Each structure stands twice: as C-alpha cells, then as structure tokens.
Structure 1
Amino acid sequence: MFEGANKSLYKELIVPGFEDCDIALNVWGDCMVPALNSGEIVLCKEWKESFIEYGYIYLIITRENHRMIKYIQPGSEADMISCESRNSFYKPFEVNKTDILKLFVIKGHIERSAM
C-alpha cells in the first residue's frame, strides 16, 4: 500500500461495516481534534475517482512522501486543493493536485478507551 513499506508490519483487520476499507492507521497529533484524536485508528479507503468529493476527511500522501489527514476543500485555482485542519490553531494551506500520489477517504475511526 505504501511504497517501500515492510509488508511484514501489516496485519489483516476486519471491522464490521468497514470491509471495503484498504488500510487502518493511527492518528498522531492534534490538528484534527475534536474530529480525530491522537491515538485513534482511522479506517481508510483509497479514493480512485478522477474528482474529489469536497468536505470529507482524507489521508493525503504527496509525491514527496508527506502524509497528512485533513479536510479537503476547493483551492484558489482549479489545480489546487485547500487542506484544512479541524483544530483552528492550524491554518489551511494549499496543495497542487499533481503533487498528490495517493488519496484515501477516512470512512471511520476507532477510539481506544482502555489498555
């Protein structure tokens, strides 16, 4: 799924209602609080459409291997997207669509409440 990743690190995870998801990964940081909290697991499906459905939360992987979880909105120009955090401390920024290597829509998340 991720280029250069060690496949032995991956485990199959089946969550009822999310069987169509491709990957699950941990959230780190506070930029998406309160929508997503650090330590939660997000369930992601690769977005393969030629258009972007704005207003949803996505995992964005750029050609430079930057990975971020953001709301996506239209950018200031047709070839740009605006990446927005839920936490208002973080300001929106734009990414050129051609810089996106992979895009995954966040279909859900799992919160761990005990060890």
Structure 2
Amino acid sequence: MGSTERIREYLDYKGITKYKFCNDLGFSNKFLDNSSNMGTDKACKILHYYPEINSEWLLTGNGSMIKEDNTNIVIMNNDRKTIDSLHVSQEIPLYDLEAVAGLRELFSSGKPQRVLDTIKIPNLPKCDGAISVTGDSMYPLLKSGDIILYKETEFDNIFFGEMYLLSVKLNDWEEYITVKYVQKSEQGQEFVKLVSQNSHHQPKDIHISKISALALIKASIRINTMM
C-alpha cells in the first residue's frame, strides 16, 4: 500500500471528502487517484495540516494511523520551495539553553553543552538540536514551553519568509534570543525584517551584522496534557 492509499484510508476514517482534502491543501483533484508514494514536500504539508497522523504510518505503513499520545509534532517546512530529505531515525539533543552563554556559544564554541535529554522522531528532516521556547512572540503557532527542533545555518543560506531561531546582539556582552519569521527589509539588503506571529509584537528591521547565530526551525513539539 502506498502513502496515497493510506491517506485515502485516513480520509475514510475521518469522514473527510477527497475534494475537501485536495482543496484545503492546494493539491490537484487527481492527487489521490494513484497508489504511489507521495513526495517529501506533500507529506510534510499533510503532516502539518493533520498533526494527529502518525508520520511513520504515513510514510512507511508501520505503526498506528493516529498518534497514540497527546503530543503534537508539527514539521515546519510545508511551504518552502526547497525539499528536505527525511531521516528514518536520528537522535536529537535537547539542550538546556539557560546553562549556555547564548546561541553563539551553543552553536560554535565546540565545547560540550548540557543535554537534558534526546528526542527521537522517525522520518524528520535533519536537525542539529532542540530547545524549549520562552515568550509569546510566535503565539499561537508556538507557546512558551513548546520544544523547537532546529538546523543551524548561515545568513547566506536564508530562506526569506521562514521561521528562524536567532540571536541578536544588543551590545558587546548581551544578546537577544528569539524565534521570528525573517523577511526582506525595505531598508535594503543589509537589513532584515523580524516578524512575529503574535500581532501584539511589532515587526522590527535590524542590520544583518547584529545577527550572531541563526537556525532554521524544522519542527515543533507541544505537550497538551501531562495526565
């Protein structure tokens, strides 16, 4: 059974019509007519739109259709033009950011860092690490306490419009760590605009020299209940 067949099985289980599915996700109406495996970009978009689907089941047929716990895992690259390769198995370190001098220290010092635990999620894009979110600038997409999984990158490889974990230098000894959408700035190529999901936070243009560390957000994890 291919992944498109498994999607048809899920739609039947949920009582969702093929037309609504294709219309909601912007797919061709003939997308579900074949029985082959779908591409990575479409799989990521489906898992983002229907977070209760077990990603391992969708991609391989193994495991249950619906996630057995009450944890939402959202893969963040559903609208990007590039396609990430999915890794069947990887162990991602969850870092204690409070025990680190900052993102720059975490990313480039080369020193061992405090790892609280490791995260294993099948068929996830390659990630370098994970940290817990603080603040409400990306609410409701992200809320304080959510875990974000990231891939370190350089400014030259930025995809404008994507969500990034970044460190902004306030002065020679302070940095501001935040999660924002990074967009092109009207002030020129030497600037970027940092945009929040939360409408109460105003966009801010900063000079690129102020960015001391940068990582693309690949996925997020939200624990809905501890019961």
TM-score class, shorter-chain normalisation, is 0.7 to 0.9
Percent sequence identity over aligned pairs: 30
| Largest Rg, 1 or 2 | 2
Residue 45 (structure 1) aligned with residue 151 (structure 2): yes
Instruction: Output the CA distance in 1 between the equivalents of 2:143 and 2:158.
Output: 24
5 Å-filtered alignment, 1:1-115, equals: 2-3=104-105, 7-18=113-124, 20-48=126-154, 50-63=156-169, 64-75=174-185, 76-115=187-226
Instruction: Output the CA distance in 2 between the equivalents of 1:52 and 1:84.
Output: 15
Instruction: Output the CA distance in 2 between the equivalents of 1:36 and 1:51.
Output: 24
Instruction: Output the CA distance in 2 between the equivalents of 1:10 and 1:2.
Output: 19
SS in 1 for 2:181: strand
Amino acid at match of 2:168: T
Equivalent residues of 1:79, 1:97 under 8 A apart: yes
Q: Could you give the per-residue CA deviations for residues 38-96 of structure 1, whole angstroms, max 9, x where no partner exists?
A: 11101100113614211111001134421110001011211000000001111000121
Q: How many residues are treated as equivalent by the alignment? A: 115
Instruction: Output the CA distance in 1 between the equivalents of 2:104 and 2:115.
Output: 12
Structure 1 pair 87/14, CA: closer, same or farther in 2 (3 Å)?
Answer: same
SS in 2 for 1:102: strand
Instruction: Output the CA distance in 2 between the equivalents of 1:2 and 1:17.
Output: 28
Equivalent residues of 1:18, 1:43 under 8 A apart: no
Structure 1 runs of 4+ aligned residues shifted over 4 Å read none
Instruction: Output the CA distance in 2 between the equivalents of 1:54 and 1:3.
Output: 25
Instruction: Output the CA distance in 2 between the equivalents of 1:82 and 1:2.
Output: 20
TM-score, normalisation: structure 1:
0.86
Instruction: Output the CA distance in 2 between the equivalents of 1:108 and 1:87.
Output: 19
Comparing 81-90 and 39-48, the one that deviates more: 39-48
The offset of 1:19, in angstroms, is: 5.7
Structure 1 pair 10/3, CA: closer, same or farther in 2 (3 Å)?
Answer: farther
TM-score, normalisation: structure 2:
0.46
SS in 1 for 2:114: helix
Structure 1 pair 49/30, CA: closer, same or farther in 2 (3 Å)?
Answer: closer
More strand by share: 1
The offset of 1:10, in angstroms, is: 4.6
More helix by share: 2
